[in-house]
Amino acid sequence: MPKTITVEKTNGTDDRATPRKRGSSRSSTKAHRRALRLAYRTRRGMAPVYATIAQAVAGNALSAVDDGWKTALAATATGAVTTAAWGRWEGRIGKKRLRKRLPARADFIATASAVTTGGGLVTAMAATGGLQIGASPYPALTVAWGIGHGIYWWRRGKKTAAPAPALSKQLQHWHDKVSCSDGPLPGSKLVDVVTTDYGWTAVIVLNSGTWKKAVTATGDIAGALDLPEEMVQIEKAVGQSARRAIIAVFDRNPLQDGTTHPGPQILNTTTGQAEVGIFYDGKPARYAFWKPSGPVHSVVYGATDGGKSRFLDMLLGTERHNGIVSIVCDPQGGQSLPRWREAVDWYEDTAQGGLAQLYAIRNVMYERSARYSLMEWTDHKGRVLRGRDHFVVGDPDPLISVTIDEAHRVLAQPGAVALVLEIVLMARKCGIKLRLVFQGPKANMFGAGPESTDIREQLQSGNTVMFRTASALTDSIGLPGWEVNPSQLPMYWPDGTSTAGLGYIKGPDNRQAQFRAHFDRDPAHWATTGTTPTLEASAAAVAGKAYSERHERLAARLRGETPVLPDDAFTDGPTDTARLTPSTDPIAQAAAAIAAEAPAGTDEKVAAYLAERGRPVGRNTIAQDTGLTISAVKNALTRLKTKGQALAVDRGIWAHPDHADNPADTTDLADAA
């Protein structure tokens, strides 16, 4: 029979049988979840507080375990090693970088401090019995640790969080206005966006094409972003894919304030390069005075008030205080560079004086060439060799820098174009550099004839400095292959101040980006201090009276007189044997032998014949009638052309300039053909 159990109901109040209030467990769970959600949402801002609490808990927990301090010490060491790797390790898998950039130095130092000091504090607590509130310094040290590192954490968060909306706005504008299907650069994107003091920069990654496509679209991009065109700068991303370009967007052009010329120490005498200004991103813009193979020719372009004169002031001051011989021609009566009239080795203020300087420099070039061709020197392997094919600054001669302002006026002189071409092609090995200054790069600025294009190309292969110009048609001529528009540079900044010194420079940096030259606020200081470098004795000897009498002409000019250049100022040095190096020099002997092929007075005889002939005549006829050889006649005609006393009217047909329009004899035309 089954056992029956009887249960008796009672009205007792046994606490164990009393049920809990309905919903209390559920409310507790919800509160706990809300607390966790709140902690998660505030995890970034409250991180120092959580870390401080975790330290106290870890210190107490490890103090209750035997040798818990060893665990804390091991964790501290592991954290320190991990932090060091985080701050200094940058790995790659093939060409793919595992991280975009290393942490900032301040972040690395703060993290290393937090890990090592926090770990040391936990280790000390674990070894001595835990936090011990009221009986040890650990509570105060823990709170101090949290406050100290929390201040840096909160301030850093404030700095980095603020630019986020602006960056998001720019990225959104780029996506909506530029990289859209009907935008200037469809399918492009921005990476590595960084805020700057002047706006923001980023790298444009094109969907197709090269960086030139982005540069060409600068105006359209500025329009799409609703910005002035001058507030957007795009250039090649050097060292990166050809599909990448760097864009800089300005809130205010960083070049507006400019920089003050720090002094002649801008020249690095080891590399031969000088920091003559800054680019828009603050990096230095460099100009090469020389490189290992020799001096570097230069050409400077710029319209009125573009900054050319102040730029030349800076270069001339640098030369004066670094042992470089400066020869200057200012054919505007000395008005462009007046401070250097008495501060350089040779100064002329007329176009005729500039022509005399070119003749003298040509003579110096050949004199140095003759010496260097037989010079003994020691190469990098210690071998003694004879004949040096390059120039070394100061060994044994100084570098000579010839500056001609308003150079088109000098090149308009008879024979100047041929002289400049000869010098620009041959002078670098002899330690001579030309620096010509023009309003613009048009061919007619370089003189008449095909040689003008050759001169421009040779000069532009060195340093090219292009300030604001007056014509968009010549932008590509002055900087061929560059996607820039110097003519579009503004004349004034938004506050009404001049933009003088703003332009582009093709030099060692080779950046197609805006730069601004240093402003020399007191060029007279550099012109009146230091010692003027001068030509070496052998070069001065062949430069002639035009050089040796330069101070007398300057004194006459200062007295208000009109000085006269000497008779030998425009003579051909290589054919004047008295002005060459001694006859023991084989180069001089060879030059003298060539000159001896033409009897004395050959030039005068040919010139007189052309004047008497009265019409164009062939070279063969001149040789027959004068009794000279064909070779002597050809050389004489070439020299007379340089002097402006003969003119080639056709192939092999020559005439006196006054008779060039007269018809030539049929016989002469037939012989010339």
| pLDDT tens string 591-601 | 444 444 455 57
Q: Which residues of 209-224 are buried (b: 16+ CB within 10 A; e: fewer)?
A: eebbbbbebbeebbbb
C-beta of residue 580 within 8 angstroms of C-beta of residue 574 = yes
C-alpha distances in Å from residue 670, one per residue of 79, 655, 665, 666: 97, 16, 9, 6
Region class of 132: left (phi > 0), else alpha (psi between -120 and 50), else beta = left
Tokens of 63: 């103090």
Q: Do 428 and 539 sit in the same domain of this protein? A: yes
| pLDDT tens string 525-536 | 999 999 999 999
Q: Do 230 and 103 sit in the same domain of this protein? A: no
Q: Looking at the domain assignment, is residue 622 inside a domain?
A: yes
**Per DSSP, what are the bridge partners of residue 654?**
617, 648
Region class of 263: left (phi > 0), else alpha (psi between -120 and 50), else beta = left
Q: Do 169 and 154 sit in the same domain of this protein? A: no
Instruction: Tally the C-alpha atoms within 13 A of residue 557's C-alpha that lie toward its C-beta.
Output: 19
Q: Do 178 and 230 sit in the same domain of this protein? A: yes
Q: Do 463 and 323 sit in the same domain of this protein? A: yes
From 161, 193, 212, the end of a domain falls on: 161
Q: How far apart are CA 639 and CA 614, in angstroms?
A: 20
Q: Looking at the domain assignment, is residue 506 inside a domain?
A: yes
Q: Looking at the domain assignment, is residue 77 inside a domain?
A: yes
How confident is the model at residue 182, as a pLDDT? 87
Handedness of CA 333, 338, 342, 345 (dihedral sign): negative
- Identify the segments of the chain with pLDDT beneath 70: 1-26, 88-102, 157-168, 448-449, 571-600, 666-673
From 102, 126, 161, the end of a domain falls on: 161
The DSSP-derived string for 104-154 is PHHHHHHHHHHHHHHHHHHHHHHHHTS--TTTSSHHHHHHHHHHHHHHHHH
Coil, strand or helix: which one is 570?
helix
Q: Do 246 and 284 sit in the same domain of this protein? A: no
**Per DSSP, what are the bridge partners of residue 203?**
191, 246
How confident is the model at residue 644, as a pLDDT? 85
Q: Do 76 and 173 sit in the same domain of this protein? A: no
Taking each helix axis from N to C terminus, what angle separates 138-161 and 105-128, rounded to the nearest 10 degrees? 160
DSSP 177: I
Q: Looking at the domain assignment, is residue 517 inside a domain?
A: yes
Q: Which domain holds residue 74?
A: 36-161
How confident is the model at residue 4, as a pLDDT? 47
User: Nearest 5°: CA angle at 6, between 4 and 8?
Assistant: 175
Q: Do 459 and 344 sit in the same domain of this protein? A: yes
From 201, 220, 250, the end of a domain falls on: 250
Q: Looking at the domain assignment, is residue 333 inside a domain?
A: yes
Q: Do 293 and 384 sit in the same domain of this protein? A: yes
Q: Give the number of domains in the chain.
A: 4
Q: How far apart are CA 303 and CA 520, in angstroms?
A: 19
CATH number of the domain within which 228 lies: 3.30.980
CB within 8 Å of 430: residues ≥ 6 apart:
364, 365, 368, 369, 372, 391
Query: 653-655 and 647-650 as β-strands: parallel, antiparallel, unpaired?
Result: antiparallel
For residue 500, how many other CB atoms are within 10 A of its CB?
Answer: 23
**Residue in the structure block whose two tokens are 């001896």:** 596
Q: Do 541 and 664 sit in the same domain of this protein? A: no
Q: Looking at the domain assignment, is residue 574 inside a domain?
A: no
Give first-to-last CA distance, the chain, whole Å: 151
Q: How far apart are CA 420 and CA 222, in angstroms?
A: 43
Pick from 415, 398, 396, 416: nearest CA to 406: 416
Phi and psi at residue 236, to the nearest 5°: -65, 140
Q: Do 172 and 84 sit in the same domain of this protein? A: no
C-beta of residue 83 within 8 angstroms of C-beta of residue 111 = yes
Q: Do 350 and 471 sit in the same domain of this protein? A: yes
Q: Looking at the domain assignment, is residue 55 inside a domain?
A: yes
How confident is the model at residue 164, as a pLDDT? 44
Tokens of 22: 């309905």
How confident is the model at residue 580, as a pLDDT? 35
How confident is the model at residue 85, as a pLDDT? 79
CATH number of the domain within which 462 lies: 3.40.50.300
C-beta of residue 314 within 8 angstroms of C-beta of residue 387 = no
Q: Looking at the domain assignment, is residue 383 inside a domain?
A: yes
User: Nearest 5°: CA angle at 101, between 97 and 102?
Assistant: 115
